Amino acid sequence: MSGLRDDLRLLRHGRDWRGRSRVPRSAQRWEQPDNGDDFPTAWARTAAAGALRGALQQAMLKPVIWSQTRPVVHGREYLDSVRGPAVFVANHSSHLDTPLILGALPPRITRKLAVGAAADYFFDSRTVAAATTLLFNAFPVERRARRGRSLAAELVDGGWSLLLYPEGSRTVDGWLTAFKLGAAQLCAMKGVPAVPIALRGTFTAMPRGQRRPQRGRPRVTVRIGRPLRIAAGETVPEFRTRLVRAVATLWAEDDLGWYGALRAAADDSLALPTGSRSALPSTANGRPAPDHGVAPWRRVWEATRPTADDGPRQVWTD
């Protein structure tokens, strides 16, 4: 019996029954991979960095994006009531999304706006991380396992508004995917409003995998909605559902018009751009959201349909 105890003790300390290590001497010690969480970003929120960023955005970033696309912005009037920190929530299908939103928002908001960026994409290289942090006032957001403290909550406490993409990543076909709970939970926890934003045309203009916008200055729309606050007795998942519906209603305005989109949302006939009920848990009346079951080729076709006055229907993108 004592021999068995001795063997178990050796195994517990990483050795076999002969007392030899079970790990080869050449093996390297495992270390937690660096996903950008430890990249310092506080310097980007200093007065000097803010002044430089404002100049770069207004004199370089916005003119370049506006010369490559034809942005149309709606709903700026809803921002008049936003005087403190807010969480801007938008759909995400292109690297054009952030520059377009920053160009559409008034400077009084962008001066105190930080952008959540995927830690494993924008912060895996120090050079890319530094450029992204300076130009967009970006901070790393962990898309997978959540670890450590929440920088987003600390920024809101410090008076900063945030731009977040609850889908977590750019969509592969231009349609909405499931919203994660983080943005809704942050609004509930800090008591700040969520401002829904819907972008149309950015997938056609510069889809995932493309490095520059399509030729011909494609038309893109940025629609800003009324600020929303979590209601008394409303759960975080219910508030998340309301955010999805708000973004979907703004999305539909390109097809149905402002009044038509509101009517469709009110009578639960709104065709949600989700492709499956995973992106919208339920309708306003508690009924299951419609499961479109749309084939992948049909989803891409629909996402590349030009809006308003863009001329002939575009079926495929390069």
Task: Write out pLDDT tens, residues 82-122.
Answer: 998 999 999 999 999 999 999 999 999 999 999 999 888 88
For residue 58, the domain's CATH number is: 3.40.1130.10
70 falls within a domain = yes
277 falls within a domain = no
pTM, entire model: 0.76
Q: Which domain holds residue 206?
A: 42-235
200 falls within a domain = yes
Comparing C-alpha atoms, which of 318, 60, 70 is closest to residue 211? 318
The continuous run of DSSP H or E covering 16 comes out as none
CA dihedral 52, 58, 63, 66 (to 10 degrees): 130
- Contacts of 123 by beta carbon, 8 Å cutoff, 6+ apart: 35, 36, 37, 39, 117, 129, 132, 140
318 falls within a domain = no
256 falls within a domain = no
**Residue 23 pLDDT:** 59
124 falls within a domain = yes
22 falls within a domain = no
The continuous run of DSSP H or E covering 237 comes out as helix 236-266
139 falls within a domain = yes
Q: What is the domain count for the chain?
A: 1
Residues in the chain with pLDDT < 50?
30, 32-36, 148, 275-292, 297, 301, 310-318
